Every structure is written in structure tokens, then in C-alpha cells.
Amino acid sequence: MAEASTSQDERVSRRVTTRASNSTATGTLGRYSYEVYTAQVKELIRMSNDDRLAGGKGSMSAMIREAIDDYIEKRKDTRVGE
């Protein structure tokens, strides 16, 4: 049983290493979990499927990153004391 555990630990270690090396022009990608509403996820899935049917990538991660960038830009204009 210890052999299976070691094997699983090695697989997890490799996955984490692979994810950590995901660099883009805007930075390094990381995995985070946030609570979202089910209706939001359903809409993202629908939009993703529509994008794929139209020949796009349908990346929900890209959609979330774009929404966060938009939110950050919007909030920069309303910062107090800056």
C-alpha cells in the first residue's frame, strides 16, 4: 500500500510542477478556487460551447481572466485615497 501512496505523491508533484510553469505575456498562471453561483457556471458553460461551435477555443478560464481584468480596471477608478 505504501508503494501506491508514493506513486500517487509523485504524480501530484509532477502535476503541480507542470502547472507552476504556465507563464504568459501577462504573468504566471496559478490555480485558485472561488465560490461562484451555479447560474454563473451554467452561463459560462453555455458561452464556452457557443464559442467552440463558432470555431473558438471556448476557454472558460480565459473568460474569467478577462472578467477579472475588467473588474480590476473598473475598481482602479474608484480607489479612495490614491
Residue 82: pLDDT above 80? no
Each domain of the chain, given as residue ranges in start order, spans 36-82
| pLDDT score for 43 | 97
Instruction: For residue 48, give every residue at least 6 positions away whose Cβ sits within 8 Å of its Cβ, in sequence order, or none.
Output: 58, 59, 60, 63
pLDDT digits (tens, 9 = 90+) for 7-43: 666 655 555 544 445 666 778 999 999 999 999 999 9
CA 77 from chain center: how many Å? Answer: 25
The pTM of the whole model exceeds 0.75 = no
Please, what is the average pLDDT of the chain? 81
